[in-house]
Chain A
C-alpha cells in the first residue's frame, strides 16, 4: 500500500510538472512568434492545456490523499476550459478589425475578401433604402 501511494504521488507530481512546462512553452511562443495571431495561437492552446493538467493533478491529489472531493476545482477546470478559447477568439477578432497587420510572410487572408463583400452589400442596402 505504501509503494502504491508513493507511485501515485510520483505520477501526480509528473502531471503537475508537465502542466507547468506547457505553461512555460506558451510563454516561449509568446516571446518568439512574430505576429499577434500566431502569438494568440501559442498562448491560448498550450496555456489552457497546462492549466487543465495542473488543476486535474490537484483534483486527483486532494481526492486520493487528503480525502476531499473538491467541486470547486472541477468548476474551475470547466470554467477555464470554456472561457480561454472564447477570450482568444474575441481578442483575435478585435485585433483584425482594429487593423493590426499580419506577418509579412503570411500567405493567406480569407477574412479580407469576406469583410469587403459584406461592406459592399451593406452599402448597397443603405443606398436602396434611401
Chain B
C-alpha cells in the first residue's frame, strides 16, 4: 500500500516537472525561465526523497542536499546576472 502511494506521487511529480518544462521553454521573459528552473530543481529533490523511501535506502540523502544547494546557487547567480550584468562584484577603485 505504501509503495502504491509512493509510485502515485512519483507520477504526479513527473507531471509537475513536465508542466514546469513548458514554462521553461515558452516563458516570455528570462525570469520566468529562472522560476521554472528553480521549481524543477525543487521537484527533482522531492522525487529523490520519494525514491529513497521506495528503495528503502539512505545513500541518496547526499544527493538531496547537493541538488538543494545547486538550485539555490544557480537561481541566485542567474538573478544577479540579470539584475546587474555580473555575478561577483569587483572593487573598482576609480569610482
Binding site for B on A (CB under 8 A): 6, 9-10, 12-14, 16-17, 19-21, 23-24, 26-28, 30-31, 36, 39-40, 43, 47-48, 50-51, 54-55, 57-58, 61-62, 66, 68, 70, 72-73, 75-76, 79-80, 83-84, 86-88, 90-95, 97-98, 100
Contacts and interface: CB of A to CB of B under 8 A. Distances in A.
A95 to B, nearest CB: 4
B8 interface: yes
B66 to A, nearest CB: 10
Main secondary structure of the interface of A (DSSP, over half): helix
B50 A16 contact: yes
Main secondary structure of the interface of B (DSSP, over half): helix
Given A30-B39, A39-B23, A62-B53, 19 more contacts: A12-B2, A14-B5, A16-B6, A20-B8, A24-B15, A26-B16, A27-B15, A30-B35, A48-B42, A50-B46, A51-B42, A58-B52, A72-B61, A73-B64, A80-B68, A90-B79, A91-B79, A95-B31, A95-B82
Contacts of B8: 17, 20
Which of the listed residues A12, A30, A58, A95 has the most CB atoms from chain B within 10 Å of its own CB? A30
A68 to B, nearest CB: 6
21 contacts: A10-B1, A10-B2, A12-B2, A20-B9, A21-B9, A26-B39, A27-B16, A27-B18, A27-B43, A30-B19, A30-B39, A43-B39, A55-B64, A62-B53, A72-B65, A79-B68, A83-B68, A93-B79, A94-B83, A97-B83, A98-B31
B5 A47 contact: no
Interface in B14-60: 15-20, 22-23, 29-32, 34-36, 38-39, 42-43, 45-46, 49-50, 52-53, 56, 58
Nearest to B72: A83
Interface of B: 1-2, 4-6, 8-10, 12-13, 15-20, 22-23, 29-32, 34-36, 38-39, 42-43, 45-46, 49-50, 52-53, 56, 58, 61-62, 64-65, 68-69, 71-72, 75-76, 79-80, 82-83
